Amino acid sequence: MARPTPELIEALRRTAIKLKNGAPYQWGHMGGCNCGNLAQELTKLNRDQIHQYAMQRYGDWNEQVEDYCSTSQMPIDIVINEMLNAGLMLEDLKHLEKLDDRQVLARFPLEARYLKHNVRDDVVAYMNAWAELLKEQLLEKITLPNFQSMVYA
């Protein structure tokens, strides 16, 4: 599961809002699919740039992740590396493309867990649920000092 970072949480939320408000979405387009839309937020590249980078190598996001090399300097690997730097893991990209991470899906009522990977509204719901899960994980790591135990002069 992704490392919960404020940058990643906000990128998921912004992506969900943009998709909900009609941002271009096309599951078969490497820059306009589930991962492609999140990549736009994390890298500030546009959908066509991401798609062009991905087409320099074969395959969908799943195959791109399988072939990822952090030192290759292939443009799509640089995109993936930026996404990883924001807190994502390679497996997260696979799950996002299929909307199938069990921890995220567990946040939905049982009857609503069967999301379709290429339906905009399902992608929006998944990203919002994932952002909320990561926010909760981040907040669990924060500890505040016990001010009651401090002695003030």
Of 100, 93, 87, the residue nearest 61 (C-alpha): 93
- Phi–psi pair at 80, nearest 5 degrees: -60, -40
Q: Residue 82 carries which DSSP code?
A: H
Host domain of residue 91:
6-149
Percent of the chain whose pLDDT exceeds 70: 94
Residue-wise pLDDT tens digits, 77-118 = 999 999 999 999 999 999 999 999 999 999 999 988 999 999
> Residue 53 in 3-state DSSP?
helix
Within a domain: residue 78? yes
Question: Which pLDDT value is given to residue 8?
Answer: 96
d(CA 71, CA 56): 16
Within a domain: residue 125? yes
Within a domain: residue 114? yes
Within a domain: residue 1? no
**Domains in the chain: how many in total?**
1
Within a domain: residue 104? yes
Reading phi first (left if > 0) and then psi (alpha if -120 to 50, else beta), residue 87 is in left
Q: How many CB atoms lie within 10 A of CB 139?
A: 9
Question: Which pLDDT value is given to residue 149?
Answer: 61
Of 92, 35, 24, the residue nearest 60 (C-alpha): 35
Would you list the DSSP string of 30-51? TTTSHHHHHHHHHH---HHHHH
